[in-house]
Amino acid sequence: MEFIRTLLLVALVPATSALDNGLLRTPPMGWMAWERFRCNVDCKNDPKNCISEELFRDMADRLSEDGWRELGYEYVIIDDCWTSMQRDKDGRLQPDPSRFPRGIANLARYIHDRGLKLGIYADMGTGTCMGYPGTTLDKIEIDAQTFASWGVDYLKFDGCNSNAIEQMMGYPLMSKALNSTGRPMAYSCSWPVYVGGLPPNVNYSLLGDICHLWRNYNDIQDSWDSVQNIVDWFTTNQDDVQPAAGPGRWNDPDMLIIGNFGLSSDQARSQMALWAIMAAPLIMSNDLRTLSNEARAVLQNRVAIGINQDPRGVQGRRLIQEKSHIEVYWRPLSHSASALVFLNRHQDMPYLYRTSLSKLKYQTGGYKAYNVFSGKTVTDLTDATEFTVSINPSGVVMWYVYPAKTSKPLQVRGMHKSHRIASPQLQKDKMNRPFVL
């Protein structure tokens, strides 16, 4: 036992600055295979949808050609089931030769040539969640070196088939190993989800020093119920998890499932709004080749993206939970702006919700509010003005709120000048403070 304690100290103490590499100052954006394509390895019968280099090339093409990259969606992330069932003769992970015949380094070059970045999956344990080779403690360094040699930009490090001691040692050790390669790689940890996601089992100060983002809770599924369960967990525990987030360190409620089969149009807007409020990674898992125009409009909503990517990096909170099943969420943004989301948990009827900014603890003054999904601006708004929002079943109304005296436009990567709205520029501003709540 003393040997284990010594190893833990060796593993943990030097790792506290291991991820100080300047990455992910805003939440990462991109695309990941898992929720939509799972572990489909049947390339003979389903070649367009199996986990193969062709799938990731297709998604890279779509990100680079359909306007996603310009908005910030830059990562193409491989999840489980990409490896051969055995390591090579030198103990290195290797891709399945029939599904990735040109290798991961070749795929990385293809993705980099399109101005994008490659993410990959590994598992802190004896095997991955789907039974492929895992990364045991003695393989951490060689796996980090392998990923760097291939040109990988992002590692998702899962935790199936490992115990608590291995996780306590392995996640910090992988942070050190990635840093030692000399290649800047974003590091996504699944550690919290395997120990319940909350203190005292999770030390968020340590976690923020060794990881750029982390999964706190269960995997998302393609359903509104799953989205609600995740939101419920984060809001119930917001006092514990919300302070942990900030530039370079993000809570991850899991992938965006917009454009799949489980969400209505209103529910899709709800997930996008809530993920923006939570400063969550915007990692899509869908089929970009067949995405509907409606789903694309939600995912490419420039103002929602701008809110999500606000450089202050303050994660939002639920302010109000009404007996009427209405919830109100708030997030402070740069230049004294903020975002509000009014969520209707009813699934069978719209709801007219009446309130005022003063009831939401805004300071005295005049404001404007831009409706993120309708594109309309509410003017002549003071803190005392009573207003009513009509919220569709399982839908949201999302406002971008800013002082009336402000006239600078909201700047969003990829936004044409004609699309800018009269609201503050989103850039680093450490001097301004959020509205007092």
3-class DSSP state of 268: helix
The one-letter amino acid at 218 = N
Judge whether 204 and 241 are in contact, CB under 8 Å.
yes
Active site residue 380: no
Strand 338-344 to 396-403 pairing:
antiparallel
For residues 253 and 192, give the distance between their C-alpha atoms in angstroms, rounded to a whole number: 12
Q: Would you state the torsion angle of the CA atoms of residues 371, 372, 376, 377, taken in this order, to the nearest 10 degrees?
A: 60
Judge whether 318 and 328 are in contact, CB under 8 Å.
yes
Active site residue 219: yes
Catalytic residue (choose from 58, 66, 219, 429): 219
Length in residues, the chain: 437
Residue in this structure with the two tokens 């003005």, named with its chain if needed: 385
For residues 129 and 361, give the distance between their C-alpha atoms in angstroms, rounded to a whole number: 45
Q: What is the DSSP letter of 213?
A: E
For residues 293 and 299, give the distance between their C-alpha atoms in angstroms, rounded to a whole number: 10
For residues 98 and 103, give the distance between their C-alpha atoms in angstroms, rounded to a whole number: 10
Catalytic residue (choose from 96, 143, 158, 252): 158
Residue in this structure with the two tokens 């990100």, named with its chain if needed: 63
For residues 244 and 332, give the distance between their C-alpha atoms in angstroms, rounded to a whole number: 16
- Cross-strand partners of 5: none
Which residues carry out catalysis? 158, 219
